[in-house]
A and B are shown apart, each in its own frame.
Chain A
């Protein structure tokens, strides 16, 4: 068996010179510390992205965009296409897990201050990918053209429309008109399968390239330890194999979720029907939605909703720009203030999401 593997390796090596790459990866080390577990969430996000691409392409073989066809085509996929139900369920569950793992990855990087010099661009591309992920979620949610998605999109784009100055044109651009119609579905489909994946792939390439070039970030506290005394593990094969192990666990989880909790299709969207009660966005938007519900209608001279949206926008911008204003971490100094902000944000998101889910 071993001879067979060696032969295959030699055959490939002769032609594409694998040796250099293997040697490079062999020299690459990953820091080992009590927070090492968080390093795997980047890899698992990548794995989930790959699943999304594969299942997305498979769904594209049968999915038909359009007001009259979208719902029926998903129904067809779910009931007639061999393993169509599995592909769709995996695609939907993966989308949610992807956002969750990306979120965990983002917070782990934030708390480890791994965004600090020289990894500002890596953070920047990662954050942009996270925003794109939310875009993927929002646009993909409408594609089955069911009742919940229809009204959630209506509410979501209404909120976008409340942004001062650019809100209204942005809403019309997103909807392809004044209302959520077949035109909205067409352009959401376009964003979901062409525009967003295109940009995402470019950002992902830069992100991965930078991770490979710069390696994993060390904790600030570990930087004091002399390099020879720091615990590490080879990226190849040790870290990669552990990554693979985690991927298998996630794959198992996905299979269980897809079979035991198949993603529902619901009722077909009807623009003339009244909105069902308790309309809620997907869980990753829930904390913002809930906040907007609690904000009073008027705060001094400002519209409460507009103020809320602007505050979230500002918060997102500050979060994105953290490598540029957290100078202390960049200098290699401990910055507890960043930790407090992170804890507050995590706590805020958790509480508001739970409250939004229950109420």
Chain B
């Protein structure tokens, strides 16, 4: 008896399921299948179809009716093929509605449409009627699949191709941003990221990793992930993640080091956008670590004079022979600290002493020692001149001219620090001598001003004394005169 009841219940459930299927069947698809077409074939693979979204979900109309007139009745909301911004709005009906997405069993975010509108792609197209990019531009219309599906145009290995549909089209890009290059893909394919991506590594950076997806902003926008000040943290998103980078066997402390470096402090703390970010040395789309040969060219693109002096110096050949990277050997790479006098010379903290000592490379040892002595003198003399100027100024002396000359002393010190890269003692001595002369002149003028200050005080004392004596004498004279007059009057 129990068995019969169970069978009946099972049959009832099956019947209800079959009826339900019949009622929710996408009649649009049923009819259009008979007509055939690419859209129908693609839609059958579409994630929306799998989730139970009918054609009417985007095109409107009544998907339950097998009567064509009723199914495509405008009164039932049929819009046909959506055009322009209607497309994105149709997507946003669900994708911008958290409740609707929940009903469909999706955990996707619902901010894409809002982000797209605020992004650089959300600007008006040249026809003035719609935004530049609609959802289907990147995701396709029919046959939309999950971003994790390798056939998706926004799957990490396909996204480069998707973006370059427009971004590698010079004629198309000219209409929007003629100054924007269209060779990003070519460069990308030369980069470490690009080559690995081409080999099927979906973890490496592609367009969306750095630029974002729906919320892409101009690199000039301070909120953009590729704005100069934001680039280090954008790169660090992957490169500082030890777990993520594990298989690549490269360090993950670059960001920490860079943040402490002179470049990092300038960029991240002082917000000096002229300071180098990761891409300044590694390139952006063609990102790759500079090789031993090219590292000096990278540094030399900003530090041109230093690079030129180094190239003409005896160190160039010595470094090349030993396959030492030029700038990096003494200054480091990511953690380049402010170069002080300590780097020069023969003390344990000086970089020269790594290769030069009293018994090895003696000539360089002597030159380094002498240059350090000179640069220290320059600094001491400049500080002495500054102290004297400050003292004279504090005492109210007019020494603006001497103060102005102080700039030359400072300039000479900077020049001499650059001249270090020639590793030529005679040249260095010439520049340093210029600075020493200026500092001595300034000190002399400041000392004169201080002497003048003392002279003024002494002069005032004497003048006051004379005037006071004169006034006192006059007072006595007046008293006597008036006494005499009083006596005469009586």
Contacts and interface: CB of A to CB of B under 8 A. Distances in A.
Interface stretch (A11-19, A91-99, A242-250, A275-283): A242-250
A251 B469 CA distance: 13
A264 B395 CA distance: 12
- Interface of A, secondary structure class, is helix
Interface in A219-266: 233-234, 237-238, 241-242, 244-245, 248-249, 251-252, 255-256, 259-262, 264-265
Contact of B471 (A78, A252, A265): A252
Contacts of B321: none
Contacts, number: 55
Given A245-B471, A249-B471, A79 B400 contact: yes
B405 interface: no
Interface stretch (B236-244, B304-312, B436-444, B459-467): B459-467
A84 to B, nearest CB: 9
Given A238-B478, A241-B477, A75 B400 contact: yes
- Interface of B, secondary structure class, is helix
A136 interface: no
A238 B482 contact: yes
A85 interface: yes
A265 B478 contact: no
Interface string B469-490: 0110011011001100100000
Interface in A15-34: none
B467 A79 contact: no
Interface in A65-89: 75, 78-79, 85-86
A111 to B, nearest CB: 27
B354 interface: no
B468 interface: yes
B85 to A, nearest CB: 46
A288 B210 CA distance: 63
Interface residues of B, number: 22
A261 B459 CA distance: 15
Given A75-B401, A79-B400, A79-B401, A259 B456 contact: yes
B464 A252 contact: yes
A288 B477 CA distance: 45
B404 to A, nearest CB: 10
8 pairs of A and B residues whose beta carbons are closest in the complex: A78-B398, A248-B471, A259-B460, A79-B398, A252-B467, A262-B396, A245-B474, A241-B478
Contacts of B471: 245, 248-249, 252
Given A245-B474, A255-B463, A79 B468 contact: no
B460 A237 contact: no
Contacts of B477: 241
B481 A241 contact: yes
11 contacts: A75-B398, A79-B398, A79-B401, A233-B482, A237-B481, A238-B485, A241-B474, A241-B481, A248-B471, A255-B460, A260-B460
Contacts of A249: 471
A61 to B, nearest CB: 18
B331 interface: no
B408 to A, nearest CB: 18
B401 A259 contact: no
Interface string A289-328: 0000000000000000000000000000000000000000
Contacts of A233: 482
B441 to A, nearest CB: 15
Contact of A255 (B400, B467, B478, B481): B467
B407 interface: no
B478 A242 contact: yes
B102 interface: no
Contacts of A241: 474, 477-478, 481
B83 interface: no
Nearest to A258: B460
B464 A256 contact: yes
Given A238-B482, A259-B459, A260-B460, 19 more contacts: A75-B398, A78-B398, A79-B399, A79-B400, A79-B401, A86-B456, A245-B474, A245-B478, A248-B470, A251-B467, A252-B467, A252-B468, A255-B460, A255-B463, A255-B464, A255-B467, A256-B460, A259-B457, A259-B460
Nearest to A84: B398
